[in-house]
Amino acid sequence: MGGPSLATQGFRAVPSLRYLNSTPAFFFADDGTSTGGFNHDGRARTLAEQAQRPFLAPHEMANASKADVLDKVRRAAYAEELRAAFGAAILDDADAAFDRIAFALQQFQKEDPAFHPFSSKYDRFLAGKAQLSDAELRGLGLFNNPGKGNCAACHPSAKSADGASPLFTDFSYDNLGVPRNAAIAATADPAYFDMGLCGPDRTDLTARQDLCGAFKVPTLRNVATRKTFFHNGAFTTLRDVLRFYVRRDTNPEEWYPLAADGTADRFNDLPAALRGNVNTTEAPYNRKPGMAPALSDAEIEDLLQFLGTLNDDNQS
Amino acid sequence: MMKKTLLAQALVTALAIAPAAHADEAALMKRLDQLAAELEKVKAELAATRQKADAVEQRQQAATPTAPAAPAPAAPATAAAPTAPAAPAGPATASVAPTVPSAQPVPVPAPAPAPAVPTAVVTSPASPAGSTYPGIQAPEAPRTVFSAYGEINYNRPTRNASGAQLDVRRTVLGFEHRFDERTKVVTELEWEHAVTSASDQGEAAVEQVYVEREFDTGLRAKAGLFLVPAGLLNQNHEPTAYYGVERNFVETAIIPTTWREAGVGVGKTLDNGLALEGGLTTGFDLNKWDASSSEGRESPLGSIHQEGQLARARNFAVYGAANWRGMPGLLLGGSVFTGTVGHATPNFAANDARVTLWDLHARYNPGRWDLSALYARGTISNTEALNLTFVGNPAPVPSSFYGWYGQAAYRLWKQGDYSLFPFARYERFNTAKTFAAVPAGLGVATAPDERVVTVGANLRVGSGVVLKADYQKFAEDKSRDRVNLGVGFSF
Amino acid sequence: MNALQWTAVAAGLALTPSAFAAQYLTAQQAQALIFPDATAFKDASLQLTADQMRAIESSAGLPARSAAWRVVSAWQGDRLLGHMVLDDVIGKFELISYAVGLAPDATVIQVEILAYRESHGFEIRNAAWRKQFVGKTAADKVAVGDNIANISGATLSSTHVTEGVRRIVAMAQVALKK
């Protein structure tokens, strides 16, 4: 919710700003995989670019214009610091100032270790300095196992060869067929579809219909502290998220509204023609109705325990 | 003296451009006559020089009553030796002290203070192979020698025709440059799979580059990137040196041929046939272990080797090798290599892990048989904490891996340039024999040892070309059964 | 001509005596090892005729290579003890200098390695390996893999030296045999 009185509804859940300092700008990898970029659809190439929109977006801070923002900044306590860093005339030119403010925000996010503390129990475990409990260890096993959770396929959990700690994202995009969230007012219009890479917010890839419905794989660090999940906030607990992953295909009626004939309206947040884009080939969402889900309820509890170890210390 | 030198030089020139001998009768006879004539002149010079030497001798004896019978130094010295035709000044040869069993005590002719006129025939690396004519003194010029080998292999899995593949497996160019009698540099460059680029699968690599120096005691020392003396294949990996199209599994999956490290090494061959080597080099980097990929299962050490490429060097490794060839046709040997592999990486759970690989091997060549056997075992210690972080992944770090093989080849048939060597080989290996213990249910099961039987033949054409064919049968993973054909060369 | 001068001749046909291991023996040291009873050594270097070279080729199955050979004959008083032939062959990269001692009937008495510079295959110098040549004649056609054992890891060196000895024995049969 945003806007001048915090009453205007937005369209997407707010992503975390943590652990973004090594995300690359959007590009297509050698094998065609969409990679990188900021925001759920990767349309901002840099943190600075991403920082600009919230100031002006009507459903966010709803400033009227860049000049409007500048008026407020000029009255702020740190106006002199800005002038000291960027020159005395900086606050006189709206475009240049706005640009530099976004730049300053970017550098703050990149440099301040508070944005990437790596202070979780899991980090200590990776260093050999802490033990995981039995349940947490089982959860890690399920997370990594390609035949069970297979989460590490998009959310890598291992250190890289150069010793860098895992970010739990490979910066790629996936199409999960998340159910339509009626709580978003815009969804009342049946013709409204938020399709991520191919639009409507992002405008440069509208021709790539094969990418419709794909959204960025976020980091899982501190995921256990979140209250809303996925780009449209369709779920409010992590347990529901995990159950969705493994039961989406085996029990679709638990997630989607039933059509007139009693079958579940699967992937109802995409136009019918594009529902084929949804990922149904990778574990754990490659099963069929009637099959057992990849994780049992007890295993989901173990996995939740493990995900809790990804919270940085000052969070949990 | 001038005349003699000119004559000598003429002789050298004549011989230097003498082509290798073939029974080209007329030309040969003509040259023989010419040489005979010049030999007469050399003999005349010999007589003259001898008289001069006698004179010098007598003066010396007059000066010092007894001359020490010490060996002449190796420094350029002229003495009562026949003045051979002088080549342009190379390191001259000296006459040797009379250690000949002679009844008469003979005074050593003192080195005359003449300039370094070469006085004797030498065999010299610069003279073409087989040049045996007396009177040649070629300068000890540095020389560069090129070598190369290559193999093109065809593999056809018997149960999967679409997996057939023909690959220019490797093309290697090497050169060895000898700076002087004691010092040389050895380099080997390799191209794998024909094409290397960002979007191709080939690899271009430096396999070896090192300098080597020989010392008075027979000790040799080298520094640079060089092959580790382990197993039978690592240092003799040309396609003409082994039986079968593909190198055997024990010496690719367990001993990661071609395995090279960067550092220093020393070696010496003793008179009893024992060759000893040792050294201090880079080792492996366990930070490179990727538990989610199959690379570690295919070859544990191959997946974490550094090959001198921006190699982590906080931890070094040491190696030693001993090979005995005291009995003709028999080789017995072994090696060991050990080093820690964490390199003090911050927040790494296995900084004190240690890799050790040792092997024992034997090769026996009685008559037409070529029999060989090898056993190799590797261990990685202190992997418990690291493997806990890998739970659920298919390839945690093994604690031990091993392999052995026995092979027999026989020269069945030889006709002119061609010789046929049928062979059979049995190998047994396991790239992950044991793992460090993890809580129940979270570990990866150890797989049974793989056992491979290879039967086939090498057909040698001349001394540098080989055609190969073989069939390989796998006991565990039958989808890998295959027929292989290959052509290789080496010079 | 006294002994000194003839030994000097032999030295003249020999290598630079050197302080380091690549050159193990000088020709003079080799002749002393092969013919310890000799009182005199004489230069018996020879030039082959075309006919002789052809005979060598057909006997040895190898190219005769050179018409000129460095030979030293060993005498005990008036009795010929035998000959020493000096030769070089390429191993893999480097020249190997060696000497073959032959009895007057062209049978091998001894093989000595004078210089060896390769990085591998020093075992060629072992007495046990060289002893395989003792007593061989041209008829034996010494060859690695047949009557001469290979040196593992030094196949080229052992093969080329063996071929050299085969050629020398054939040459001795043709040109030196008494």
In chain A, domain spans: 27-115, 117-316
Q: Chain B window 341-370: which residues touch A at a Cβ cutoff of 8 Å?
A: 345-350
The complex's ipTM works out to 0.84
**Is there a contact between B23 and C11 if contact means CB atoms under 8 Å apart?**
no
Minimum-distance CB partner of B129 among C14, C19, C95: C95
Closest-CA distance, C105 to chain B, in angstroms, reads 22
Rounded to 10 degrees, the C-alpha dihedral A287/A291/A295/A297 comes to: 140
User: What is residue B120's predicted lDDT score, i.e. its pLDDT?
Assistant: 34
Distance in angstroms (rounded) separating the CA atoms of residues B409 and B376: 21
Closest-CA distance, A126 to chain B, in angstroms, reads 6
**Chain A residues closer than 8 Å to B201 by CB:** none
Question: What would the two tokens of residue C139 be?
Answer: 């008829």
* A298 interfacial to chain B (CB closer than 8 Å): no
Q: Spell out the residues 6+ positions from residue A246 whose beta carbon is closer than 8 angstroms to its own.
A: A149, A284, A285, A293, A294, A295, A300
For an interface test with B, the pick among A157, A306, A309 (most B C-beta atoms closer than 10 Å) comes out as: A157
User: What is residue B44's predicted lDDT score, i.e. its pLDDT?
Assistant: 76
User: What is residue B68's predicted lDDT score, i.e. its pLDDT?
Assistant: 40
CATH topology assigned to domain A27-115: Cytochrome Bc1 Complex; Chain D, domain 2 (1.10.760)
Q: Where are the domains of chain B?
A: 1-56+78-91+117-139, 143-490
Question: Mind listing the pLDDT tens digit for each residue in C69-85?
Answer: 999 999 999 999 999 99
Measured between CA atoms, the residue of chain B closest to residue C41 is: B100
Closest-CA distance, C22 to chain B, in angstroms, reads 8
Q: Which residue has the tokens 């302080």?
A: C19
More confidently predicted of B360 and B71: B360
DSSP string, A121-183: HHHHHHTTSS---HHHHHHHHHHH-TTTT-GGGTS--S--TT-PPP-S--SBEE---PPP-TT
Q: Picking from A122-126, B134-138, C24-28, which range would have the lowest pLDDT averaged per residue?
A: B134-138
**Residues B448-465, mean pLDDT to the nearest whole number:** 96
User: What is residue B15's predicted lDDT score, i.e. its pLDDT?
Assistant: 54
Closest-CA distance, B328 to chain C, in angstroms, reads 5
* A165 interfacial to chain B (CB closer than 8 Å): yes
User: What is residue A74's predicted lDDT score, i.e. its pLDDT?
Assistant: 84
**Is there a contact between A163 and B385 if contact means CB atoms under 8 Å apart?**
no
**Residues A126-134, mean pLDDT to the nearest whole number:** 93
**Residues B227-233, mean pLDDT to the nearest whole number:** 96
Q: Do the beta carbons of residue B23 and residue B31 sit within 8 Å?
A: no
User: What is residue A73's predicted lDDT score, i.e. its pLDDT?
Assistant: 85
Q: Chain B window 131-160: which residues touch A at a Cβ cutoff of 8 Å?
A: none
**Residues A284-288, mean pLDDT to the nearest whole number:** 90
User: What is residue B105's predicted lDDT score, i.e. its pLDDT?
Assistant: 43
**Is there a contact between B347 and A30 if contact means CB atoms under 8 Å apart?**
no
**Is there a contact between B288 and A161 if contact means CB atoms under 8 Å apart?**
yes
Distance in angstroms (rounded) separating the CA atoms of residues A1 and C2: 117
**Bridge partner residues of B354 (DSSP):** B340
For an interface test with B, the pick among C23, C119, C146 (most B C-beta atoms closer than 10 Å) comes out as: C119
Residue C93: pLDDT band with limits 50, 70, 90: confident
Measured between CA atoms, the residue of chain B closest to residue C19 is: B216
User: Most confidently modeled of A112-121, B54-63, B111-120?
Assistant: A112-121
Q: How many residue pairs from chains A and B have C-beta atoms closer than 8 A? A: 70
Judge whether residue A8 has pLDDT over 80: no
Closest-CA distance, B165 to chain A, in angstroms, reads 23
User: Most confidently modeled of A200-204, C140-144, C174-178?
Assistant: C140-144
User: What is residue B11's predicted lDDT score, i.e. its pLDDT?
Assistant: 57
**Chain C residues closer than 8 Å to B363 by CB:** 152
Q: Picking from B61-65, B211-215, C45-49, which range would have the lowest pLDDT averaged per residue?
A: B61-65
Distance in angstroms (rounded) separating the CA atoms of residues B142 and B177: 7
- What's the mean pLDDT when you consider all of chain A? 89
Question: What would the two tokens of residue B417 be?
Answer: 């340039």
More confidently predicted of B2 and A108: A108
Question: What would the two tokens of residue B10 be?
Answer: 């003429």
User: What is residue B86's predicted lDDT score, i.e. its pLDDT?
Assistant: 37
- Superfamily of the domain at A117-316: Cytochrome c-like domain (1.10.760.10)
Measured between CA atoms, the residue of chain C closest to residue B231 is: C153
Question: What would the two tokens of residue C117 be?
Answer: 């510079």
- What's the mean pLDDT when you consider all of chain B? 82
What chains are in contact with C, requiring at least 3 Cβ pairs below 8 Å? B
**Is there a contact between C22 and B214 if contact means CB atoms under 8 Å apart?**
yes
Asked whether A and C share 3 or more beta-carbon pairs under 8 angstroms, the answer is no
Judge whether residue B267 has pLDDT over 70: yes
**Chain B residues closer than 8 Å to C146 by CB:** 367-368
**Bridge partner residues of C69 (DSSP):** C46
User: What is residue C177's predicted lDDT score, i.e. its pLDDT?
Assistant: 79
Q: Around Cβ B162, how many Cβ atoms within 10 Å?
A: 6
Closest-CA distance, B371 to chain C, in angstroms, reads 11
More confidently predicted of C8 and A220: A220
**Residues A224-230, mean pLDDT to the nearest whole number:** 92
What is the dihedral sign for C-alpha B14, B17, B20, B21?
negative
**Residues B96-105, mean pLDDT to the nearest whole number:** 40
Question: Mind listing the pLDDT tens digit for each residue in B291-350?
Answer: 999 999 999 999 999 999 999 999 999 999 999 998 889 999 999 999 999 999 999 999
Distance in angstroms (rounded) separating the CA atoms of residues B87 and C146: 42
How many helices (H) and strands (E) are present in chain C, helices listed first? 5, 6
Pairing of strands C40-43, C68-76: antiparallel
Q: How many residues does chain A have?
A: 316
More confidently predicted of A144 and B121: A144
Residue B134: pLDDT band with limits 50, 70, 90: very low
User: Most confidently modeled of A152-161, A253-262, B356-365, C35-44?
Assistant: B356-365
State the burial class of residue A260 (Cβ atoms within 10 Å of its Cβ: 0-12, 13-18, 19+): exposed
Residue B66: pLDDT band with limits 50, 70, 90: very low
Judge whether residue A109 has pLDDT over 70: yes
**Bridge partner residues of B418 (DSSP):** B415, B461
Pairing of strands A215-216, A34-35: unpaired
Give the pTM: 0.79
Q: Spell out the residues 6+ positions from residue B20 whose beta carbon is closer than 8 angstroms to its own.
A: B128, B130, C65, C66
CATH topology assigned to domain B143-490: Porin (2.40.160)
* % residues pLDDT > 70 (chain B): 77
User: What is residue B466's predicted lDDT score, i.e. its pLDDT?
Assistant: 97
**Residues A201-213, mean pLDDT to the nearest whole number:** 89
Measured between CA atoms, the residue of chain B closest to residue C1 is: B50
Residue B89: pLDDT band with limits 50, 70, 90: very low
